[in-house]
Amino acid sequence: MTVTPQYIVNGKLDAQVSPLDRGFAYGDGVFRTMRMTENRVVAWPLHYSKLMEDCNRLDIVCPSSDVLHADIQRLNEDRVPDAVIKIIVTRGEGTRGYALPALAQPNRVVIKSAYPLYQESNFSEGVSLHLCQLRLGHQPQLAGIKHLNRLENILARMEWNSSAFADGVLQDIDGNVIECTAGNLFIRIGKDLVTPDLSLCGVAGITRQRILQLSEALGLNIYVDRVSMADMMSADEVLICNSLYGAWQVIDFNHRQWPSQPLASTVRQLLQEQS
């Protein structure tokens, strides 16, 4: 089922964006990608809180939760059981140049797309990952933010075409493991479940944040730390995660195979119970 995405711009269905919008001109904005099941955005409070935090870091005025909620409801009058909701918030229109406009009115776009047709084996067995050649640059002032400057992710994603790879692993310029192009990453070493530090680069996703809270339920020490490629290659287990698929186990990466194990499935179940 291919469904054309539907969208709403500043509350107007099928409206378009001004070419003077600074999101278009400079990537001057932030976004969220979320799953909607049964007419509910999964983990909405966390998504909205992250949207606000990201807007604050760029000094962009964040639309209210109510306004965004109304946009989402209008897009969902057909009440499909499963869909993807994307929210883009930009600084708004500007005159020429990088200086902030005196009175920027943020623009908001909400887009509804079909839920992706993931391979069932991604959930039941696990996934293979590509090792990206592109290394993420360090920029502490943008690290963690899901902003609209995503050329690094695009160049990395251009490195493979095969559907054999569910995603690609990104290292930073120092060779530390950071994330996937479209998700975060955890490695398990014994009773420790570690996700890379994102203070210099990478996007700090909501699902990563939710998994960091599962220590008690999983019986694991879960924390943030620097992760080297050697750490990852010697890990007992590797998981990747995002808001659409939840969590998948990695069973093949960089000439290493891992046997199927139950952690990713347990994590998915816990995430689902809590949403």
How many Å apart are CA 188 and CA 206, to the nearest integer?
19
- Other beta carbons within 10 angstroms of residue 65's beta carbon come to 15
**Closer residue to a copy of itself (CB): 47 or 157:** 157
Cβ nearer to a copy of itself, comparing 7 with 186: 7
Pairing of strands 127-136, 246-253: parallel
Name the token pair of 204: 């700090």
Q: How far is the CB of 7 from a copy of itself (least distance, A)?
A: 5
Q: Which helix (H) or strand (E) holds 54?
A: helix 44-58
For the bound state, the minimum distance from the C-beta of residue 269 to a copy of itself, rounded and expressed in Å, comes to 26
Contacts with a copy of itself by CB under 8 A lie at: 5, 7, 9, 15-28, 31, 33, 58-59, 84, 86, 88, 95-100, 109, 111, 113, 116, 134, 136-139, 141-142, 147-158, 173, 181-182, 201
Tokens of 42: 């999964």
CB of 143 to a copy of itself, least distance (A): 9
Nearer to a copy of itself, 57 or 69 (CB): 57
Query: Cα 144 from chain centroid?
Result: 10
Instruction: Determine contact, residues 254/235, Cβ cutoff 8 Å.
Output: no
Q: How far is the CB of 236 from a copy of itself (least distance, A)?
A: 29
Nearer to a copy of itself, 15 or 230 (CB): 15
Token pair listed for 228: 């080297």
